[in-house]
């Protein structure tokens, strides 16, 4: 319990609050900044970049056979082996259309390949619109584990 002499007068309380508030704000700001620096992982550059070009599309009724030329660039210091490239189905979420690949992109260089995909016609109509598309690429960095990344590729024209 506070005795009468221990009570803080209203004027003194405002002074006490005003003098400690900036110190508390500085401490909290420093704490949150340090938390962000420690918790945020170092963001590495993506292992690949590139472009794509549709070289052929064949109407098969309810499906389209799509031939795509992919150009990959590896800005990293290690070779990247690409084992599979996939497209997401827009009409059936969660389903993928995939094509096997055996492309190796050496460090600081580029490689290209042509792959064929058989996709639903309504997926093609939605997918072919726009300047870029997301490709799911299964890859392995030299000496590393196999991983799958979502890679946005810019569409180029002839």
Provide the pLDDT for residue 19.
Answer: 54
Residue 27: which pLDDT band, with cuts at 50, 70 and 90? Answer: very low
Q: How does pLDDT run across 75-85, given as a tens digit for each residue?
A: 988 999 999 99
Quickly count: other Cβ atoms within 10 Å of residue 80's Cβ.
21
Rg (alpha carbons) of the chain, rounded to whole number: 28
**3-class state of residue 52 by DSSP:** strand
Provide the pLDDT for residue 37.
Answer: 41
Q: Say if CB 86 and CB 95 are below 8 A apart.
A: no
Provide the pLDDT for residue 113.
Answer: 96
| Whether residue 89 has pLDDT greater than 50 | yes
Can you say whether the dihedral through the CA atoms of 96, 99, 101, 105 is positive or negative?
negative
Provide the pLDDT for residue 14.
Answer: 54
């Amino acid at each position: 319990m506070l005795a009468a002499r221990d009570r803080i007068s209203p004027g003194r309380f405002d002074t006490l609050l005003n003098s400690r508030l900036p110190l508390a704000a500085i401490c909290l700001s420093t704490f949150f900044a340090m938390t962000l620096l420690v918790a945020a992982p170092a963001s590495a550059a993506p292992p690949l970049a590139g472009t794509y070009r549709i070289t052929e599309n064949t109407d098969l009724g309810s499906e389209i056979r799509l031939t795509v030329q992919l150009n990959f660039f590896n800005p990293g210091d290690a070779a990247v082996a690409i084992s599979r490239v996939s497209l997401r189905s827009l009409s059936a979420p969660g389903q993928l259309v995939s094509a096997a690949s055996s492309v190796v992109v050496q460090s600081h260089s580029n490689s290209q390949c042509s792959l064929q995909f058989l996709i639903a016609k309504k997926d093609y109509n939605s997918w072919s619109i726009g300047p870029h598309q997301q490709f799911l690429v299964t890859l392995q960095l030299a000496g590393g584990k196999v991983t799958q990344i979502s890679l946005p590729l810019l569409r180029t024209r002839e």
